[in-house]
Amino acid sequence: MEFIDRGRALWILSERAAAKRFFHDCSPEVRRWAFGQLTPQQLAPMLAPVSLPNLWRSELPRSLIAARDDKVPNPVEKVADRLGVDPFWIDGSHSPMLSRPGECVELIIDSLKRPPRGPFKSC
């Protein structure tokens, strides 16, 4: 990955780097297609403070699907704990919707049937 736009965005410069990070279990055809869909990832939405004072008291439906072979750092257990959910796990890369679309759809459907195990937890 490389920072571009004066540090305001991330960009994956090569198909090989994208495949290693996001699509390592996809077919070569899917990797090529997926790389062609990538655009710079703006950093501002991830860094800007957000105030949602009533979120922690809400009863929103929520779930978390995590990939066992994801190469992108992701604190799954911490996020699941904050959401008050048990994660749904799927084999594969960061992009199971591309490498295992049928299994991914089944998990999404299953996630709609499982209520959260607890409330949101604030930071």
Strand-pairing partners, residue 9, are 4, 42
Same-domain check for residues 40 and 78: no
Residues 40 and 59 in one domain: no
Check whether residue 59 and residue 109 sit in a common domain: yes
pLDDT at 33: 97
Total domain count, the chain:
2
Which residue range(s) make up the domain with 44? 1-48
Residues 1 and 40 in one domain: yes
Question: Does one domain contain both 8 and 44?
Answer: yes
Q: Pull the structure tokens for residue 26.
A: 């996809």
Note whether 55 and 108 are same-domain residues: yes
The pLDDT of residue 34: 96
pTM (2 d.p.): 0.79
Question: Which pLDDT does position 1 carry in this prediction?
Answer: 65
Structure token pair of residue 11: 């960009």
Is the same domain home to 60 and 110? yes
Is residue 84 included in any domain, yes or no?
yes
Distance CA 48, CA 35 (A): 27
HSE on the CB side for 31, CA within 13 Å? 16
Q: Is the dihedral of CA 105, 106, 111, 112 positive or negative?
A: positive
* In a domain? residue 73: yes
- Phi first, then psi, for residue 102 (nearest 5°) are -65, -45
42 and 10 belong to one structural domain: yes
Residues 55 and 114 reside in one and the same domain: yes
Whether 123 is in a domain gets the answer: no
What's the pLDDT at 41? 87
| Predicted pLDDT at 59 | 83
Q: How far is it, in rounded angstroms, from Cα 64 to Cα 80?
A: 7
Do 93 and 69 lie in one domain? The reply is yes
Among 33, 48, 63, the domain-final residue is: 48
Whether 75 and 44 share a structural domain: no
Query: What is the mean pLDDT for each group of 10 consecutive residues in the chain (123 residues)?
Result: 73 89 95 94 86 80 93 90 93 95 96 87 72
